[in-house]
Amino acid sequence: MGHVFRALTIAGSDSGGGAGIQADLKTMHQFGVYGMSVVTALTAQNTTGVHGVMEASPEFVAAQLQAVIHDLGVDAMKTGMLANEAIIATVADVLSTATATVARPLVIDPVMVAKGGTKLMDDSAIATLRERLLPMAALITPNAPETGVLVGASVSSWDSVHLAAARLAQWGAGVVVVKGGHLDLDVAHAEGWRLPAAAHQRVAVDTVYAQGTFTHFLTPRVNSVNTHGTGCTFSAAVTALLASGTPVLAALAQAKAFIYDAIVGAKDWDVGHGHGPTDHSTPIPVAMSEVTPGASYYYDGRNWTRVD
C-alpha cells in the first residue's frame, strides 16, 4: 500500500513483442514498477525484421504524454524509437514545460537501427536528438554503432569508446553507457582485468562514463540468435530501477545482469525464425551492495566480482 513507483516508456510498438513498448512494459512489470507508455509508431515487425512502420502524429504523441504526466505522474522515463525530427522536438517541448510535474531521470535509448538492419530514425532527427533531448538526459544508452552516429566517428576501439563517451557527456547527458554487444575487442590486457578462466576472454563490456570516471561492467558472451530487443530491455530495466530510487551505477549493474540472464534464458527458444526475443520473465538478479566509480566488475550469471 502507499506510493507506487511509476515508469514511462516513450517508444514504438513491436508487434512481435520482443522489443519496443512491449519489451519495456514486460521488463518494468518484472521489476515491480507500474509501467506506462506513449506510442510513437506502430511497426509490422517479427523476428525476421521490420516490414512496415506507421508513425504517430506529433500532436498525438504530445496528447499521450500530457495525459500520463498530468494524471498519473512519472518517477522515471525512457525514450526508445522516436522515428523522426518532429516527434523528437515534440517530446522535448512537452518535457521542457513539465518539470514541475515530471520527476527525472530521463533515460535515452537512441534507437536508430533494428536488429535486422532496418533504419528506424531518419537522418534529420539525429541533430535534434543531440541538441534537444540529450541535454535533458540523466542517462543515455547507445550501442557502438549508435554512438558512432551520434558523435560522427567510428567506434571500434577502446580509445574511440572512451573518447565518444566523454564527448556525449560534454553535450549534456549526465551518464553515458556505451553498450558493448556490438564490440568484440581484445579485453585480455586492455584494462588489466583479471578475468576468470571460464570467461575465455570473450566478454561483452559496457563502458560507463560519469563525472570524468570510467566504470566497466562485463558479462560472458552468449552464443545465441535470440537477442532481439536487448537494448530496449536493458534501458527499461535501468529506468525501472531508477524509478524505485536505485543509485545509477547499481542500477546499471543490475540491469546488465538482468539482460545477460534474459539472453541465457531464451537461447534455446524456438520463437520465430530470425532474431528471437529474450526471456523477460527471468528472475531479478541480486543487486550489488556497492559499486565503486572507476572500478570494473564481471558477472558470471550468479555473482559480481571486481576484476580491476
Report the catalytic residues: 179, 227, 229-232
Whole-Å CA distances, 48 to 89, 116, 203, 276 = 31, 7, 26, 8
The three-state (H, E, C) secondary structure of 15-59, written as one string? CCCCCHHHHHHHHHHHCCCEEEEEEEEEEEEECCEEEEEEECCHH
Q: What is the largest CA-CA distance in the chain?
A: 55
Under a CB-based contact definition with an 8 Å cutoff, are residues 239 and 107 in contact?
Answer: yes
Radius of gyration of the chain (CA): 18
How far is 252 from 138, CA to CA, in rounded Å?
13
117, HSE (Cβ side, Cα atoms, 13 Å): 2
Q: How far is CA 209 from the centre of its chain?
A: 15
DSSP H helices in the chain: 20-30, 58-71, 85-96, 124-128, 144-151, 158-170, 230-243, 248-266
- C-alpha cell recorded at residue 224: 545465441
